[in-house]
Every structure is written in C-alpha cells, then in structure tokens.
Amino acid sequence: KDSYKALFFKDFALLCALGVCAGGLVSMLTSNLLLYIKYYLDVEEMSTPILLALMLSIGACIPIWVVVLKKIGKKKASFVGITPTMIVFLCFIFVQPGQAVLVMFLCILLGCGASCFIIC
C-alpha cells in the first residue's frame, strides 16, 4: 500500500520522469555525436577516441562532483553543472568540418558537465 502511494507522490513522480529523460538524453547525445563525427566532421576514424575521451572525462569528474555536491548542495551543483554544459553545446555550432581535436576538447568539457547529471 505504501509503495502504491509513492507512485502518486508528486516529487517521486517528477524524480522518476527526470531519471528517464536524463537517460534518454545521454543515449541521444552519444548516438548523435557519432553521426556528427562521421557525417559533419568527416573524420570517422576519430569517433572512437572522441567517445573514449567523453566517457573517461565523465568517469574522472564523478568524484569531483560528489565533493561539490556535498559542499554546496544538490540544487546549486545542478546549476553549476548545467552552465558549462550549455556553453559547450553552443560551441559545437561553430565547429567546422575536420576540427576533430577541437571536438575532442569540447567532449572532455562536456563530460565534466555531464557527470554532474549522473550524480545530481
């Protein structure tokens, strides 16, 4: 009976919806990033190193976000993580075909911001 009540608790339902959306967005990001690398940048051979850089930066930044989360709180940490991530996404607009090194650098920065969403 208590678990049935939890399903209709507004905060719990919102948390579940955000979790599903965050997982979907990460999947969309990685799959679209592959298409971006292959067709727009035209450097398909760099797709594995770029995705590896993204995943390693996510893994490396998770412990940092745990410390930040404990110090400043979940809400502030979310805003701190969202801001650079949005700036990185805006920088992708200005990337020209063939600039694989720049995309790798942006993916490392993107991983630092994306790891915040895993923790928060």
Domain boundaries, the chain: 2-119
Pick the residue with more confidence: 116 or 59?
A: 59
Is residue 24 very low, low, confident or very high in pLDDT (cuts 50, 70, 90)?
A: confident
User: What span, in angstroms and rounded, lies between the C-alpha atoms of 103 and 83?
Assistant: 18
Checking if the pLDDT of 70 tops 80, the result is yes
Of these ranges, 17-26, 36-45, 54-63, 77-86, the one predicted with the greatest mean pLDDT is: 54-63
- Characterise 98 by phi-psi region: left (phi > 0), alpha (psi -120 to 50), beta (else): left
Give me 28's structure tokens. Answer: 């969309």
Q: At what angle do helices 47-72 and 74-91 cross, to 10 degrees?
A: 150
Over residues 11-33, the mean pLDDT reads: 76
Pick the residue with more confidence: 12 or 50?
A: 50
pLDDT at 1: 59
pLDDT at 108: 93
Residue 70 CA: distances (Å) to CA of 44, 57, 64, 77, 112: 40, 20, 10, 9, 17
